Amino acid sequence: MDKDTTKSAFREYVTPLNVSTILQELNRLKMERYVKKLGVISFIRLVVFAQVNQIPSLKDISLELEANESLQKELALDSIRACPKSPQF
């Protein structure tokens, strides 16, 4: 993959993901039963966005999401926040 190339990153990591297969497996395993806002697919997209844009922290990802309306629409989220009981990345 080309170093720091957005299109290459998405082509290599996101395009091969079969969203319907992932969602079927999540339903089968009942993994998203208690998810309120940030589901697995949105999370993957957000992490790839942060990686491609070299966003260093969860706080910075949150700030970018709040400032970026097109990202909000893509992920169907208007904000995220760190929760005291959430796992650390």
10-residue averages of pLDDT along the chain (89 residues)? 60 73 78 66 84 88 91 85 56
Predicted TM-score (pTM) of the model is 0.60
Contact by Cβ (8 Å): 38, 80:
yes
pLDDT at 55: 92
CA proximity to 86, closest of 62, 63, 68: 62
pLDDT at 19: 76
pLDDT at 1: 46
Encoded tokens for 43:
């999370």
pLDDT at 81: 72
